[in-house]
Amino acid sequence: MLKELDPPAVRRWSRHCAAALGRARAEIDALNVFPVPDGDTGTNLHLTILSAAEAVDALPGDADAGATWEALTRGALLGARGNSGVIVSQALRGMGEVLGHAPGGGADLRDGLTRAAEMARAAVVRPVEGTVLSVLSAAAHAVRDTPDDLAEVARRAADEARRALRRTTEQLDALSRNGVVDAGAAGLVIMLESLSEVVAEAYSERHEVPAPAARITPEELGRQDAGGPGYEVMYLLDAGEVDRLRDELDALGDSLVIVGGEGLWNVHVHVDDAGAAIEAGLRAGRPYRIKVTYLGGRPHEPRPVRGVVAVAAGDGLTALFREAGAVVVRREPGSAPTAAALLRAVREAGTEVAVLPNDAAVYDVAVAAAEIAREEGVTVSVLPTRASVQGLAALAVHDPLRRFDDDIVAMTDAAGHTRHGHVWVADRAAMTSVGLCRIGDVLGVVDGEVALIGADLAATAVEVVRRLVSGGSEMVTLVTGAGAPEALLHAVRDHLERVRPDLEIVVYEGGQGGYPLLIGVE
């Protein structure tokens, strides 16, 4: 019988808990009717705790309580899946806030459970009774007056959680209609029972999961899902604060849970507009590990097999990409298209789609749209094209008769071997990588970085070309912008014909605003 929940005990609990949830996964999945009947709560909880256990296992054997709980809670945060997984990760964070700085006695566990219940409930924007929140609160309340004995606190919390689990059927209409207890709460009970077993040093190979009173048919699941949000959106987010994001997502959908802290958050929400949910994350910080799950059975029209989506910032570029067979998404210079616009284009393009962002600022939005499209059954690859000339190079080698993966490799290779540059006139003073520029200065950009500041448009463009061209270069592509002076193009062509008459020179009228000349060198 343990007297303290020390780091080795926490390590054993994480392993035992992951194993127990793994054995009960399918039974918990069968209970899953709320917030959506997607049948994956058991799987999600198992994967969440497995991630936490693996993080603890990676620590050295002599790791102290602070390091152990930090690894456990961070592992759960990074690996959290689904609504219940995200809530449980926050509950573990609450326990860690107390137990990571305490010996781990009975009073510490009691305080840790109280903090876990508080933090889990605070993370859910619109808490609902009859869920994992109710069971966790009941367990924490039951141990408030328990003697400071670790085994007694752990046992009483587990016993009360089991009783509270049975009450969930009466607390939530969706559970009552289907004769089930809450799936997430059932997983929490196993976690608390596993903790009690570790403390008592008496392990069980099986934990009871109350069976549904009646099986729910797929048709009934479909009817229950009808009218609800169409997508589950989850992502990790690097951001300082999330208050504004919480308000934005709350207005977009439901089942909103945001957990974490200290600059790292796990975001979960059910929405109809998955693109808008991801764009809200982009405004708040840097979302990554974006996962979009399609919750409905919404039909989509048949699509052609292979296609390309290209983002373009000018009439001429739009025409070029369209002539090459791409579905084009227009954008204005200095801005990015919405994820919804890119998603519409992907749906139009085909079931196997290559996306050419053609600008570093567009890449994250393109990835977000691709995540949604994949959930609808589309195979999508977002190529890292950072300039329109790279997109043109990629599209030039596109072959719809090749295997999709081979086509993506060929297009990526062509884009990667295309150096890119441009010139533009500064409209404001700013600090660049080569010094301070003032309004009216001509900036020469090479491979995405300001490489020189000049006074003359043509002379600066010639210098950019000189830096881009190497001994192995074979072709130069020049794309003129809206209102670009004829002297600019003549100066660059004259220079190339004089110093490198062997190069093939291709000129297009791009019509893009803001950038008088785009340059690509292959």
pLDDT digits (tens, 9 = 90+) for 216-235: 544 444 344 445 677 889 99
pTM (two decimals): 0.66
**CATH number for the domain running over 419-521:** 3.30.1180.10
At 266 the pLDDT is 94
Angstrom CA distances, 488 to 31, 182, 432, 515, stand at 69, 69, 24, 12
Q: Write the CB contacts of 250 (distance below 8 Å, at least 6 apart in sequence).
A: 125, 126, 256
Q: How confident is residue 386, by pLDDT bands cut at 50, 70 and 90?
A: very high
pLDDT tens, residue by residue, 255-285: 899 999 889 999 999 998 888 999 999 999 9
- CA 131 and chain centroid, separation: 26
Contact yes or no for 108/99 (Cβ under 8 A): yes
Interval 348-375 mean pLDDT: 89
Q: Pick the range with the lowest mean pLDDT from 55-64, 67-76, 107-116, 362-371.
A: 362-371
Which of the following CATH numbers is that of domain 7-208: 3.80.30.20, 3.30.530.20, 1.25.40.340, 1.10.1040.10? Answer: 1.25.40.340
Query: Is the pLDDT assigned to residue 17 strictly greater than 80?
Result: yes
Q: What pLDDT sits at residue 120?
A: 94
pLDDT for res 95? 96
Whether residue 210 is predicted with pLDDT greater than 90 in this model: the reply is: no
What ranges do the domains of the chain cover? 7-208, 231-294, 306-416, 419-521
Number of Cβ within 10 Å of residue 519's Cβ equals 26
Return the pLDDT at 295. 77
The per-residue pLDDT for 39 is: 67
What is the reported pLDDT for 38?
61
Instruction: Give me the phi and psi of 40, to 5 degrees please.
Output: -135, 10
Name the residue with higher pLDDT: 371 or 245. 245
**What rounded mean pLDDT belongs to the chain?**
88
CATH class belonging to 231-294: alpha beta
Q: Is residue 71 classed as helix, strand or coil in its secondary structure?
A: helix
Task: Tell me: pLDDT of 300 over 80.
Answer: no
- Please tell me which residue, 375 or 182, carries the higher pLDDT value: 182
Given this model, what pLDDT does residue 9 score? Answer: 95
With the CA atoms of 317, 322, 323 and 326 taken in that order, what torsion angle do they form, in degrees rounded to the nearest 10?
Answer: 120
Closest CA to 317 of 412, 417, 416, 390: 390
Q: Does position 302 have pLDDT exceeding 70, yes or no?
A: no
Q: How far is CA 265 from the centre of its chain?
A: 11
pLDDT tens readout for residues 389-439: 999 999 989 988 788 999 999 999 999 999 999 998 988 898 888 899 999
Of all residues in the chain, what percent carry a pLDDT higher than 90? 55
Pairing of strands 253-261, 264-271: antiparallel
Query: What does the pLDDT read at residue 218?
Result: 41
CA distance 176 to 178: 5
Lowest mean pLDDT among 97-101, 222-226, 469-473: 222-226
DSSP 210: P
Task: Tell me how far the alpha carbon of residue 357 is from its chain's centroid.
Answer: 18
Spatial distance between the Cα atoms of 65 and 10, rounded to a whole number of angstroms? 9
**For 54, what's the count of Cα atoms within 13 Å in the CB-facing half-sphere?**
12
Say how far apart CA 366 and CA 370 lie, in whole Å. Answer: 6
For 376-439, where are the alpha helices, taking DSSP H only? 388-396, 404-416
- pLDDT (mean) for 466-472: 91
Rounded to 10 deg, the angle between the 132-142 and 150-171 helix axes is 140
CA distance 80 to 72: 12
CA distance 270 to 273: 9
Q: How far is CA 222 from the centre of its chain?
A: 27
Examine the pLDDT at 27 and tell me if it is beyond 60.
yes
Place 298 in a pLDDT band, splitting at 50, 70 and 90: very low
Among residues 60, 53, 59, 65, the alpha carbon closest in space to that of 20 is found at 53
CATH topology of domain 306-416: Rossmann fold (3.40.50)
Tell me the CB-side half-sphere exposure of residue 19, using CA atoms within 13 A: 13
Q: Regarding beta strands 327-330 and 306-312, do their DSSP bridges make them parallel or antiparallel, or are they unpaired?
A: parallel
- Cβ distance 400 to 407 under 8 Å? yes
pLDDT digits 0-9 by tens, 125-179:
898 899 999 999 999 999 998 888 999 999 999 999 999 999 998 888 888 888 8
Report whether pLDDT(299) > 50: no
Plot region of 299 (φ>0 → left; ψ -120 to 50 → alpha; else → beta): beta
pLDDT tens column, 335-344: 788 888 899 9
**What pLDDT, on a 0 to 100 scale, did the predictor assign at position 214?**
58
CA–CA distance, 379 with 301 (Å, rounded to integer): 16
- The position carrying tokens 């917030």 is 35
Q: Is 327 left (phi over 0), alpha (psi -120 to 50) or beta?
A: beta
